[in-house]
């Protein structure tokens, strides 16, 4: 059955007024929430875990807002059973988490640490006992520091080390895993990590960032066959890319060129080599100008041509750009320094990102047209809001409900038009360490009181759980927050 066939809308004609505008999703749709190891686990030194670049970065004064670190975070390492219980009570049928590489190999090489593997083994079993499908990310930015001491992702060898690490994890839990994401947002890892330097490891080497980008893709390509083999015929291997649809501010040649460059770097740099097996002439020319293409060796594109069985789509906000004054500091878009970013004038979230569900809708059209053969999974989409716990323990977050509602409508519309979207994972299950922003930004369905580690499901958690249980978004799910359930 085609996915579109399962997506229907009750429309105005339905006999049941309460089900008016009901948007039904395809059968077996994954309704999940996502997290990442460094952002929630804490337990920074437990059970033989080594240090990652984020441990180092967060402990470097001035790098993270408020001097926050992930040392304790949401203490999920010790509370994972309760947190899986929450997923289950809410009614979600899928969960995306990441494995911490330095828990498996403290310095990124050699024999795996049994205690690290055992932790994820238990987590997976706990999920499966509750009929929650795990979607496992292998790299959500916590590179073992020992590998960074050898140039990290700028060193080609790191891709081979990653493939070994992936094999260890595949051997340990692969018999129970259907969905793997090798690398989360390689754009951030390469360009925030090695060009602008606002993320770990905090390096400012714009040319080196293109080598890092390539090696991250190579890591995906080298690891994919082993992961597929860990559960033959069943496991799917994907990559999660962060997309931002780009719009030029005017039709002038200069603005169009600014938009072209940002689109190339933001939306095509990883998708084209991984999903088409080739950088293509335009990307090669761009990279040639900034760094040369010596890091792309003959045969590398063949490794990437193994592709992905599904594409993880992470979407938060679009870009509006124009030609602008050249910047003198390293940007996250090397070779596009003379581009200015603007606001469209849409509502903004507390992190400053504009809310644009229409751009999300159009993104699916673009993905379906450009990469028609790959299944899509929304691996991240969500919003930071100012949340607080009321005296009765409730957390009213109507902005999150509005955000999810509008973005789920976009997903449904795309499915109805034929996009092959298999699931939706909101970012995030719980409030967590939001990288350079520390704990100030709360993206969770569940509020975390970091003093007591108490969990408080927000209104949005109940709202979203109901959608997951119904496999449908209905008009009644947008009643004012607090009146549901
Ligand atoms: C994405 C990251 C994720 C989270 C969200 C808000 O870029 O993958 O870890 O921080 O942004």
Q: What percentage of the chain carries pLDDT values higher than 70?
A: 93
The rounded Å distance from CA 348 to ligand 1 centre is: 17
Q: Is 301 part of a structural domain of the chain?
A: no
Q: Which residues does 211 contact at the CB level (< 8 Å), separation at least 6?
A: 153, 154, 156, 291, 295
Instruction: Read off the pLDDT of residues 163-181 as tens digits, 9 standing for 90 and up.
Output: 999 999 999 999 999 999 9
Q: Does 399 participate in catalysis according to the annotation?
A: no
Q: What is the 3-state secondary structure (H, E, C) of 360-404?
A: HHHHHHHHHHHCCCCEEEEEECCCCECCCCCCCCCCCCHHHHHHH
The rounded Å distance from CA 23 to ligand 1 centre is: 27
* Cα(323)–Cα(301) distance, integer angstroms: 32
The rounded Å distance from CA 152 to ligand 1 centre is: 21
R_g over Cα of the chain:
21
User: Which residues span the domain enclosing 448?
Assistant: 3-269+309-474
Residue 325: other Cβ atoms inside 10 A: 9
Model pTM score? 0.95
| Tokens read off for 120 | 């994820």
Is residue 262's pLDDT more than 90? yes
The rounded Å distance from CA 462 to ligand 1 centre is: 22
* Cα(398)–Cα(404) distance, integer angstroms: 10
Cβ–ligand 1 contact at 427 (below 6 Å): yes
Cβ–ligand 1 contact at 241 (below 6 Å): no
Residue 229, classed as helix, strand or coil, is helix
Q: Is 292 part of a structural domain of the chain?
A: no
Residue 443 pLDDT: 98
* Cα(140)–Cα(124) distance, integer angstroms: 18
Instruction: Read off the pLDDT of residues 115-130 as tens digits, 9 standing for 90 and up.
Output: 999 999 999 999 999 9
Please give the number of the atom of ligand 1 that sits closest to the Cα of 240: 8
Q: Does 185 participate in catalysis according to the annotation?
A: yes
Segment 453-474 shows an average pLDDT of: 96
Cβ–ligand 1 contact at 313 (below 6 Å): no
Cβ–ligand 1 contact at 184 (below 6 Å): yes
Q: Is 483 part of a structural domain of the chain?
A: no
Q: Is 119 part of a structural domain of the chain?
A: yes
Q: Is 280 part of a structural domain of the chain?
A: no
Which one of the listed residues 151, 167, 185, 434 is annotated catalytic?
Answer: 185
Q: Is 294 part of a structural domain of the chain?
A: no
Work out how many domains the chain is built from and give that number: 1
Residue 256 pLDDT: 98
Q: Give the CA count within 13 Å in the CB-facing half-sphere of 77.
A: 23
Residue 19 pLDDT: 47
| Tokens read off for 305 | 């041509």
Residue 141 pLDDT: 98
The rounded Å distance from CA 120 to ligand 1 centre is: 21
Under the banding of pLDDT at 50, 70 and 90, the label for residue 18 is: very low
Residue 484 pLDDT: 42
Helix, strand, coil % in the chain, rounded to nearest 5: 45, 15, 40
Cβ–ligand 1 contact at 242 (below 6 Å): yes
Instruction: Read off the pLDDT of residues 61-83 as tens digits, 9 standing for 90 and up.
Output: 999 999 999 999 999 999 999 99
The CATH number for 450's domain is 3.20.20.80
Is residue 480's pLDDT more than 50? no
Residue 3 pLDDT: 33
Is residue 17's pLDDT more than 50? no
Residue 359 pLDDT: 98
- Taking Cα atoms as reference points, which of 456, 480, 462, 300 lies closest to residue 392? 456
Instruction: Read off the pLDDT of residues 371-419 as tens digits, 9 standing for 90 and up.
Output: 999 999 999 999 999 999 999 999 999 999 999 999 999 999 999 999 9
User: ω into residue 428 within 30 of 0, thus cis?
Assistant: yes
Q: Is 286 part of a structural domain of the chain?
A: no
Per the CB < 8 A criterion, the answer to whether 194 and 212 are in contact is yes
Which one of the listed residues 380, 399, 451, 485 is annotated catalytic?
Answer: 380
Q: Is 274 part of a structural domain of the chain?
A: no
């Amino acid at each position: 059955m085609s996915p579109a066939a399962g997506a229907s809308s009750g429309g105005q004609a339905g006999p049941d007024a309460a089900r008016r505008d009901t948007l039904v999703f395809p059968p077996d749709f994954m309704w999940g929430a996502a997290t990442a190891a460094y952002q929630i686990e804490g337990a920074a030194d437990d059970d033989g875990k080594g240090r990652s670049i984020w441990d180092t970065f967060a402990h470097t004064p001035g790098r993270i807002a408020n001097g926050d670190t992930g040392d304790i975070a949401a203490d999920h390492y010790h509370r994972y059973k309760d947190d899986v219980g929450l997923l289950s009570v809410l009614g979600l049928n899928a969960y995306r988490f990441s494995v911490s590489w330095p828990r498996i190999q403290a310095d990124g090489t050699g024999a795996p640490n049994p205690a690290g593997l055992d932790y994820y083994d238990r987590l997976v079993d706990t999920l499966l006992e509750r009929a929650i499908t795990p979607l496992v990310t292998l790299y959500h930015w916590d590179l073992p520091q020992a590998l960074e001491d050898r140039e990290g992702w700028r060193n080609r060898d790191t891709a081979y080390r990653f493939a070994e690490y992936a094999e260890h994890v595949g051997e340990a839990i692969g018999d129970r895993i259907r969905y793997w994401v090798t690398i989360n947002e390689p754009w951030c890892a390469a360009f925030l990590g090695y060009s602008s330097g606002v993320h770990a490891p905090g390096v400012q080497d714009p040319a080196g960032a293109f080598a890092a980008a390539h090696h991250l893709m190579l890591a995906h390509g080298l690891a994919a066959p082993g992961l597929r083999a860990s559960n033959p015929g069943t496991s799917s291997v994907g990559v999660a890319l962060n997309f931002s649809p780009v719009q030029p501010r005017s039709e002038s040649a200069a603005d169009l060129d600014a938009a072209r460059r940002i689109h190339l770097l933001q939306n095509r740099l990883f998708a084209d080599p991984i999903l088409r097996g080739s950088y293509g002439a335009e990307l090669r020319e761009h990279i040639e100008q900034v760094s040369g293409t010596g890091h792309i060796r003959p045969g590398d594109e063949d490794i990437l041509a193994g592709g992905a069985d599904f594409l993880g789509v992470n979407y938060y906000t679009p870009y509006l750009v124009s030609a602008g004054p050249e910047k003198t500091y390293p940007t996250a878009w090397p070779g596009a320094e003379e581009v200015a970013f603007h606001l469209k004038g849409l509502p903004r979230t507390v992190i400053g990102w504009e809310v644009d569900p229409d751009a999300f809708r159009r993104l699916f059209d673009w993905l379906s047209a450009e990469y028609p053969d790959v299944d899509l999974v929304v691996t991240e989409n969500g919003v930071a809001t100012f949340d607080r716990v009321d005296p009765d323990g409730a957390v009213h977050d109507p902005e999150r409900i509005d955000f999810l509602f509008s973005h789920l409508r976009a997903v449904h519309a795309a499915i109805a038009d034929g996009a092959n979207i298999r699931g939706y994972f909101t970012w995030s299950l719980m409030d967590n360490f939001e990288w350079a922003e520390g704990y100030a930004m709360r993206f969770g369905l569940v509020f975390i009181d970091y003093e007591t580690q108490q969990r408080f499901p927000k209104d949005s958690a109940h709202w979203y759980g109901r959608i997951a249980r119904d496999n449908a978004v209905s008009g009644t799910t947008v009643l004012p927050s607090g009146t549901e359930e």
